[in-house]
Structure 1
């Protein structure tokens, strides 16, 4: 696909049916949905899915996660500027305002640093600059007019499974070909990490196919830390198989949700889990099962998508 893309109107995602909200609810109850992050959690460890989607246990964000969220915000804002202003110097000017907005939205992030004069904060902001340099080493945003950035997509499969997620960027070529772009602020992964990233991209490709009846021509992963880009071309048969995989995951989630039987799946990733102390595989005890969550356990935050 050429770097040059055209601007077209973003079709509104299909509206999801909503369950009746309780009178005490502060916001409407949304149907449970499957996001790429939550599907990945269940594949990795059903108990991790429960802790995040059902119990909604808090997790301390890492500096790397917050930096990833900030860089995504800067790139979104960059594409909102006239093409001629999408240069490295302008992007770097957007970093500190993006950080201030994150702090305003999540005041607990201030605990990541020892005040505004902490040398670690300056170093951390500089590391975001390095990631933006990596981005500009991969493409020239002045040559692009994305259809959408940070696009919420949602569709219901024929089986009734509701899929929902956010796509970093969607490009549409003059010929109508679609490219799905995802920014990764970490380094290009090894085999396990690459499979996880492709799972996420196939999820987006499936949703766009079902919404628009067009299979994306290219799924592009951009690893800003080491300036690598991976491209993948899906086809209909592959996405049909992937659709069946998501349906099987959702049915397994529903079965576990009815009984509360979310079993741990120990792996080397357990060392990075915030909830290891509560896991029976390590001698812990989960909190009492609260039942299937309302509202929506498919909610996916920007920190979920940060790498």
Structure 2
């Protein structure tokens, strides 16, 4: 008697697990990606950067603030949370620390006073995940990451990302942001609600840059993410098989090498740009 069986044809491809941060790092500079995620022991790095310290302080303060009931989200409470989470790593001296500590308190207090107190917050620092790909019938990626904040407006979700850097974002920045688009895709799946609007909230200036995604623009971001993920995954596999690390993960020298934390371990990066001071990327004082 002939045995019955199943023939499913080609074996399905394994899903590639990615985060927006990893995709951005590989897209910017494959060598930096390799040094960050693959090289062991970890290559020598620079010391702390003040703009990263400032960003972490503000994010931590707002995370705690928006975990509170709306009635307790006062400007005074916001400012006090900056003090609670304050760190001084990377700043030039005590004078600069004092100036930026006060500035950060003012930024978050103004942010709350301008309308942050009564927003309908669904999630804060929420880990989201979604299986996706350019072909809905054959997903290729598990996209995941931690969103600063997710709000509800009417029946839809809005992805909110805080920024504290030198340049206020524009609406085109929100539209082009692969991270925000992938967060919208993952938020839809994780929180089970429509999500097409993404926003960049720049604390130093109070700027809100926003974009409304369509199904087509989200598909395009997913397609680009798939290409980058496939390239990084292939290079990683070849490296583990004994491939040349510098050919598989080449450096991409650019002006940003001035503040790359891995420049002590990258000759091309050191040649590309003079080293920035640890406080050079702080937002200008008003």
Question: Common fold, TM-score beyond 0.5?
Answer: yes
Distance 2:201 2:90 in 1: 30
- The partner residue of 2:105 within 129, 140, 143 is 129
Q: CA deviation at 1:209?
A: 3.2
- 1:51 paired to 2:51: no
Map 1:80-119; keep pairs closer than 5 Å.
80-99=67-86, 118-119=94-95
Q: C-alpha offsets along residues 163-192 of structure 1, whole Å, 9 cap, x if unaligned?
A: 22111111123x42111111111244578x
1:241 match: secondary structure: helix
Matched, 1:281 2:268: yes
Q: TM-score under structure 2 normalisation?
A: 0.74
Query: 1:139 and 2:115 equivalent?
Result: yes
> Bigger relative contact order, structure 1 or 2, given CA contacts below 8 A and separation 6+?
1
Q: Distance in 2 between matches of 1:96 and 1:213?
A: 36
The yes-or-no answer on 1:64 pairing with 2:51 is: yes
Map of 2:244 onto structure 1? none
Single out whichever of 120-129 and 161-170 deviates more from structure 2: 120-129
Indicate how the Cα distance of structure 1 residues 96 and 49 shifts in structure 2: closer, same or farther if over 3 A, else same. Answer: same
Q: CA offset at residue 91 of structure 1? A: 1.1
Q: How many residues align?
A: 242
State which structure, 1 or 2, has the greater radius of gyration over its C-alpha atoms: 2
Shift of 1:35: 1.2
1:167 aligns with 2:151: no
**CA contact 2:49–2:90 (8 Å) conserved in 1:** no
Q: What per-residue deviation string (whole Å, max 9, x for no partner) do you get for residues 262-290 of structure 1? A: 01112221222122343353589xxxxxx
Structure 1 stretches of at least 4 aligned residues deviating more than 6 Å after TM superposition: none
Segment drifting more, 151-160 vs 198-207: 151-160
Are residues 247 and 152 of structure 1, via their aligned partners in 2, closer, same or farther at CA, if it must alter by over 3 Å? same
SS at match of 1:94: helix
In the TM superposition, 1:6-21 aligns within 5 A as: none
Q: Which of residues 229, 241, 259 in structure 1 aligns to 2:238?
A: 259
Does the 8 A contact of 1:147 with 1:172 survive in 2? yes
Structure 2, unmatched stretches of 5+, are 1-14, 133-137, 240-247, 272-281
- SS at structure 2 position matched to 1:139: helix
Contact persistence 1:88–1:133 (CA under 8 A): yes
Distance 2:141 2:209 in 1: 29
Q: What CA distance in whole angstroms lies between the structure 1 residues aligned with 2:169 and 2:122?
A: 31
1:221 offset after TM fit, Å? 0.9
CA distance in 2 between counterparts of 1:129 and 1:283 reads 35
Displacement of 1:195: 6.7
Q: Partner residue of 1:235?
A: 214
| Structural RMSD (CA) | 3.0
Residue from 181, 186, 189 that aligns with 2:160? 181
